Chains A and B, each alone.
Chain A
Amino acid sequence: MLGRLFKYEIKATSKILVPIYIAFIAITAISRISIELQVDKNSPLYFISDIGFLIFMLSAMTIFVATAIVIVWRFYRNTSSDEGYLLFTLPVKTDYIIISEFLCAFLWSIVMSVVVVIGIFLMIFNSNVGGITINFPYFKEFFSSLNFDGGKVIFIMLLDMTISTLAEIMAIYCAISLASLFKKYRLMLSVLFYIGLVIITNTLDILVIRIITHNFIPQTETISETYDTATFAEAWNSLIVPSLVSEQVIIDLIFLITITVVEYFIVRKILRKHLNIC
């Protein structure tokens, strides 16, 4: 039944998100072409080359916002509107309903990230940024300058991104579920509960890290704005690697998992015992 719920969740969301992602790739490609055209500065069409990057940035922001809205809206509709009648009268466990929505939201977060990475690649590959050509030799040189245990750091980075995304989705679900306990102003209350959860979670996170490590969080240094591989590699080796492979990150991840599990049980309890479809 979990697989079937997931299938229908994907069907319902893909109708909105897939066209948006395709449009993003198309807009990115057009933006890159417009930049590459190098229209004469005196031509009235010069602005096309000029705003190509701006269009790309706005499109990337749009797909991020669209994905977030779809994730929020699906859960909200399924737990607070008439569509909940369809879902919560199915002979399936409430856990399956939450997990299927949760996994679907996570999947779209990954797809969105991949689409953005493709977009960035389309925009910068073989282009000249700050006097340096971003191409395969550039990436090869960059990766060969890194003096870290690559597998380990990439694993921690991916784990960090995965858990942070999952925690974010569950916080949204928890806020919507808490708001569903009220009859009115549910959307506004969802936002307020979400802000409250973020404040509480971050405060607890800092406190836990300080108590366990007996330390204050180190200040992050600014990475240089030059684009050569040596500067990037230096920043990676001196700043990113030590901050990733640290006690603090591991505690942070354990804390996030704990909070996500607690929020899951709050959502579960509300949807099982206090479902309030208006």
Chain B
Amino acid sequence: MPILEIKNLIKKYHTKNVIDNISISVDSGKIIGLLGPNGSGKTTLIKLLAGLLTATSGDISIDGKKIGIETKAIVSFLPDRPYFANWMKVHYVLAFFSDFYRDFDMKKAMEMLELLNIGVNDRIKTMSKGTKEKLNLILVMSRDAKLYLLDEPIGGVDPAARDYILKTIISNYSEDSSVIITTHHIADVEKILDDVIFLNNGKIELNSAVEDLREKREKSVDEIFRENYKC
């Protein structure tokens, strides 16, 4: 059974279809790159999967369940910007995740924090943008979720931090789970991707395994993307 099944999904804002009748099936154990130019509908799709938006029509099922409390318990979502308030401390957000997510592995989170020299008493306010993003990622990847939704996980961080983030993603997901990543830094990410989906104007323009795509077009995903969406 696929971990994610989307059928004829439409999300309308006023009169515009931001997501325009898309159908996707994602199997377990895959890392999928959800790529597209600005305004293509990537973040809207991720928010629909995270249960933050309601679809206008169509069906979404995650691990066979309709979007709701049950899917939120098995979906680990990283938004495109850190969502912790400045007054919070690391131990507060750790306790928060531990209290609300049964699949949260405190030991794993502590190990990753230690590696990055982030103290449990550190305040969010004192952290750099990169450290905040790493902290968010650590919390999200410390869950034993079925589906990880990572919206721009490497946006706005230095190349060294990008490597760390990608390494964290690869080493923390299992064969029972899948990861969907949206990003504009395709060259950095494509080495870890199994499949890519190109989204444009709310429609799927390409859905393929990365290996097949490279063999067929004899180009990298980054090059294909630049060709397709040249301004």
Interface residue stretch chosen among B80-88, B163-171, B209-217, B218-226: B80-88
Interface-centre pick from A15, A88, A91 (highest chain B CB count, 10 A): A91
* Contact between chains at B82 and A275 (CB < 8 Å): no
- Number of B residues near A (Cβ < 8 Å) is 23
Q: Is the CB of B77 within 8 A of A89?
A: yes
Name A200-225 residues within 8 Å CB distance of B.
none
Residues of B within 8 A of A92 (CB): 69, 100
Asked if A82 meets B81 with Cβ closer than 8 Å, knowing A273-B54, A275-B52, the reply is yes
The answer to whether B50 and A89 touch across the interface, beta carbons within 8 angstroms, is yes
Q: Is A148 in the interface zone, CB < 8 Å from B?
A: no
What is the interface of chain B mostly: helix, strand, loop, or mixed? Answer: loop
Please measure, in the bound complex, the distance between the C-alpha atom of A15 and the C-alpha atom of B84, giving whole angstroms.
16
CB contacts (< 8 Å) of B84 on chain A: these are: 83, 86
For the complex, give the distance between the alpha carbons of A274 and B72 in Å.
17
* B56-95 CB contacts (< 8 Å) to partner A: 69-70, 72-73, 75, 77, 79, 81-85, 87, 92
**Which chain B residues lie closer than 8 Å to A90 at the CB level?**
72, 100
Q: What count of chain A residues pass the 8 Å CB interface test?
A: 23
Docked-complex contact A88 and B52, CB < 8 angstroms:
yes
Decide: A86 near B99, CB < 8 A? Known: A91-B70, A91-B72, A93-B69: no
Interface string of A267-278 (1 = CB under 8 A from B): 000001111010
Q: In the complex, what distance in Å separates the CA atom of A12 from the CA atom of B86?
A: 11
Tell me whether A8 and B83 are in contact (CB under 8 A): no
Cβ of B87 and Cβ of A89 under 8 Å apart? no
Write out, one digit per residue, whether chain A residues 81-111 have a CB within 8 A of any chain B CB (1) or not (0).
0111110111111000000000000000000
A260 CB, min distance to chain B CBs, angstroms: 25
Contacts of B53 in A (CB 8 A): 275
- The residue among B53, B85, B100 with the most chain A CB atoms within 10 A of its own CB is B100
Check if A4 is an interface residue, CB within 8 A of chain B.
Answer: yes
Query: Cβ of A152 < 8 Å from any Cβ of B?
Result: no
Query: Do the beta carbons of A277 and B99 come within 8 Å of each other?
Result: no
CA of A82 to CA of B51, assembled, Å: 15
Closest beta carbon of chain A to B133's beta carbon, Å: 13
Collect the chain B residues with CB atoms within 8 Å of residue A93's CB.
69
Please tell me if the beta carbons of A277 and B52 are within 8 angstroms of each other in the complex. yes
A82 touches B69 (CB 8 A): no
Q: A85 and B100: CB pair below 8 A?
A: no
Pick the contact of B92: A11, A82, A273 (CB < 8 A).
A11
In the complex with contacts A8-B96, A91-B69, A91-B100, A85-B83 CB distance below 8 A: yes
Which B residues touch A245, using CB under 8 A? none
Central interface residue in A82, A84, A89, A93, by most chain B CB within 10 Å: A89
Nearest-neighbor residue (CB-CB) of A7 within chain B: B99
A277 neighbours in B (Cβ, 8 Å): 52
Given contacts A89-B52, A92-B100, A275-B52, contact A82 B83 (CB under 8 A): yes
A77-B85, A89-B72 given. 15 additional CB < 8 A pairs? A1-B100, A8-B99, A12-B85, A15-B87, A83-B83, A85-B83, A86-B83, A86-B84, A88-B51, A90-B72, A91-B100, A91-B101, A93-B69, A273-B54, A275-B52
Closest 7 CB pairs of A and B: A91-B73, A85-B83, A91-B72, A82-B83, A85-B79, A86-B83, A91-B69
> Which residues from chain A sit less than 8 Å from chain B, CB to CB?
1, 4, 8, 11-12, 15, 77, 82-86, 88-93, 272-275, 277
- 10 A-B pairs with CB atoms under 8 Å apart are A4-B100, A15-B87, A77-B85, A83-B84, A85-B83, A88-B51, A89-B51, A91-B73, A274-B54, A277-B52
